[in-house]
Amino acid sequence: MPSNKSVSDAPIFQFTNCRILRSHQLQREDLWVREGKILNPEKLFFDEKGSADIQLDCKDSVIAPGFIDVQINGGFGVDFSLAVDDVQSGISLVSQKILSHGVTSFCPTLVTSPPSVYHKVLPQISIRNGGPHGAGILGAHLEGPFISKEKKGAHPEHYLSTFESGAFQDLLATYRHLDCVRIVTLAPEMKRSSEVIQELTRRGICVSLGHSVANLSQAEEAVRHGATFITHLFNAMLPFHHRDPGIVGLLTSDQIPARRRVFYGMISDGIHTNPAALRIAHRAHPKGLVLVTDAIAGMGLAPGKHTLGQQVIEVDGLNTYIAGTKTLSGSVATMDSCVRHFLEATGCTVETALEAASLHPAQLLGIEHRKGTLNYDNDADFLLLDDSLQVRATYIAGERVWSQDTFTI
């Protein structure tokens, strides 16, 4: 039966022999795609009297939404925090290479840098759709410089900044360009941070709490003002204390405004967080968990010395330290390996592990009506995976943009 061309001339693809992640469950259904979007087959059959033009046997793959990485500092030798003349070529290289790890869109992340770096780099970052050229760019994540000295982690102390009389104007003077900015990580205990959080939120920029010594009530106040995310939970914040659990306490706080959800990033690489801590976070607040790589330039390269903004980093296996210290600084983990580690460490379901890298980051950014699910009419950004969650093939807007050499359909 030929497909009905009254609605569209575009070919209709039917991915068969697969289990697709939909409504929080892996379901033995086919995935239908037309014009880069997920198609509702019932509408196709009954309204359009149409059918598939091309059928593809997925060889019993799991099909999941493409992964979304909201914190990635670089990879494959590229450091997004360097003020180079051609930022685009570095971003393009990373966006190409992460396709093999299942990432179909991401937020290039800049660590604390002098204002001159933001002024040079930010105008060169543009939000763009993904495709064969690489993963889509959802906007920049600026981590610092408005963070705590005590919890600076790998961020260079002499570039840290505070909000003075200008408050939001101080932030604007530092970054100068906000058009491409999607997330700002700041320490909510800084004076005048409430005004800044409100203004960023008003502009649709997600505020994340991190690199901070905030107590729980300061963190709750920041959430009331609009903050929705916690940057790499447990790392670079006060450790959980039962009388004042600090930012970590947001996971079970009863002071979160109604219908609001606080999300939290986890670097699930087996290094940054003990598996027991990962389980505590996940069991306390499963729907808020967002897997991030926090990957640095050394991701995808041999161990050795790499940069992270103004710092030199030594990579040894999965450990990444500021040279000459034991201060952890980003990771060299890939997103697919974080998903597998999360699954193994928490004993969660495959669905839960996949949603932590797709649905949850999409909800955090408020783009779940376009990405992060396989719901009808969403962008057809998806992955074919084997049962151990190794990526077999990556699709963006219905087009195959990467596949294993040995996997053909």
The whole-angstrom separation of Cα 156 and Cα 152 is: 7
For residue 243, say whether it is annotated as part of any ligand binding site: yes
For residue 122, say whether it is annotated as part of any ligand binding site: no
Cis peptide before 361 (omega within 30 of 0): no
Q: What are phi and psi of 42, to 5 degrees?
A: -65, -40
Mapping DSSP onto H, E and C, the string for 120-177 reads HHHHHCCCECCECCECEECCEEEECCCCCCCCCCCCCHHHCCCCCCCCHHHHHHHHCC
For residue 272, say whether it is annotated as part of any ligand binding site: yes
For residue 211, say whether it is annotated as part of any ligand binding site: yes
The whole-angstrom separation of Cα 21 and Cα 354 is: 9
Q: List the catalytic residue out of 69, 79, 269, 294.
A: 294
The whole-angstrom separation of Cα 171 and Cα 160 is: 12
For residue 403, say whether it is annotated as part of any ligand binding site: no
The count of other CB atoms within 10 Å of the CB of residue 50 is 23
For residue 134, say whether it is annotated as part of any ligand binding site: no
The whole-angstrom separation of Cα 136 and Cα 67 is: 11
Tracing tokens 């069991």 back to the chain, one arrives at 283
Is 9 among the catalytic positions?
no
For residue 101, say whether it is annotated as part of any ligand binding site: no
Q: In terms of Cα–Cα distance, which of 156, 211, 216 is closest to 184?
A: 211
For residue 236, say whether it is annotated as part of any ligand binding site: yes
For residue 177, say whether it is annotated as part of any ligand binding site: no
The whole-angstrom separation of Cα 278 and Cα 111 is: 24
- Can you state the angle between helices 168-175 and 193-202, rounded to 10 degrees? 70
The whole-angstrom separation of Cα 355 and Cα 373 is: 8
For residue 330, say whether it is annotated as part of any ligand binding site: yes
**Strand ranges for 268-345 from DSSP E:** 289-292, 304-308, 311-316, 319-322
Q: Which residues are catalytic?
A: 294
- The binding site for Zn(2+) comprises 143, 211, 232
- The binding site for substrate comprises 154, 235-236, 243, 272, 328-330
- The binding site comprises 143, 154, 211, 232, 235-236, 243, 272, 328-330
